[in-house]
Structure 1
């Protein structure tokens, strides 16, 4: 039995959980959720009644939702290989603080922008207001990340953590939504995101999201919701 990650496309924040599982280097399976499809497969309500991704179905039948909970769980699994950070240490406090910032402030800053992008029937003035509000909040968060990344390779310093996996997913939204000239406005963040792009786990997550052929040493590929129905019935 392997954990199963339910990830959302397009541009899901669950991208970071794929990267985290690849870095963890333990076998897992994937299930692809098209977030724009309506209605969602009713089988998924057994995984997350809120119809959100990501979600992680664990070997013992429990389901974890919310990126923060999933990444902290995976951090505990990664204590053996140097990726995870032990609870009760200053570095762990910094990991939780960084993940909380990314999962609340940074993620939330994009919400007006996604609304402007996704909602139908908005006037030009409404779209402009949403983009202005979102851009201001994203800029504040990028300014903070720019300071954090000054003179260091990763978010926690010289040590890679699962906070970096999460930022690999949501940091790409800045470019996708064409908010800034990252290289000019936030050169440290730009350097950092380019560094992540070259990581094999990030490249794999990109290929998975695009539906392309991709090879992974640890992922066992995709499994359908129909094939999971016996396990879902027990939830």
Structure 2
């Protein structure tokens, strides 16, 4: 039995959203970062833990392993309901919460398995550039569709920040990056800017996903 959570990941990667959730929940966790400058599949510590060689990978206090970012976030909200980071079962917002929590990894996050190493599906520089351009277009189109079907208030599902807001905030910083996201998803743009500026997350962003010059693209 471990003392707390152990999170495998790297700054700016998909593990960042789990770190944001744990921060807002007030939960202590240990980080295990991948080797700097290499992809996850090249780090034997992660491969041994998760044969898919993907992050985030979260070891629970019980020693059990969890993978898949959406599953981790959903599980954490169930374990720490006092943080109020998800609509509870029976809440009118619950259906849309589950819908969009599944939509992000299925339609958007999955594109990065291709974009990060386009040679997985394309042969040669020219074909790889086509893959990069078309996946960027697909990502932007998916953000546009989501933006057209949500009705944000202060946050995506109401007046309280939740893990869905954290998920969109982190993933929207990846390519095609924020300027294009702002253009295709103007309603959600206001929400992610608000999450960017949340003082409870300032230290985490500075350490794990800093707002460096040109970060918006």
Distance change (3 Å), C-alpha of 1:185 and 1:49: closer
Residues 97-145 of structure 1 show CA distances to partners (whole Å, capped at 9, x for unaligned) of 111001111212444433359999832x324311331132112212123
* 1:163 Cα offset (Å): 1.3
* 1:151 Cα offset (Å): 4.8
Q: Match of 2:213? A: none
In the alignment, the residues of structure 2 paired with residue 194 and residue 178 of structure 1 have an alpha-carbon distance, to the nearest angstrom, of 13
Contact 2:156 2:188 in 1 (8 A): no
Residues 165-216 of structure 1 show CA distances to partners (whole Å, capped at 9, x for unaligned) of 2222211114xx45854444432233222212112354333333369xxxxx
Which of these residues, 3, 6, 12, is aligned with residue 4 of structure 1?
Answer: 6
Q: Match of 2:84? A: 82
1:203 and 2:205 aligned? no
Q: Which has the higher contact order (CA 8 A, sep 6+)?
A: 1
**Is the radius of gyration larger for structure 1 or structure 2?**
1
Distance change (3 Å), C-alpha of 1:199 and 1:117: farther
Q: Match of 1:101? A: 103
Q: Number of paired residues?
A: 207
Report the TM-score when normalising by structure 1: 0.73
Contact 2:77 2:84 in 1 (8 A): no
* 1:50 Cα offset (Å): 1.9
Alignment of 1:21-100 (within 5 A): 21-34=22-35, 36-37=37-38, 40-100=42-102
Unmatched runs of 5 consecutive residues or more in structure 2: 211-217
Contact 2:165 2:191 in 1 (8 A): no
Unmatched runs of 5 consecutive residues or more in structure 1: 212-235
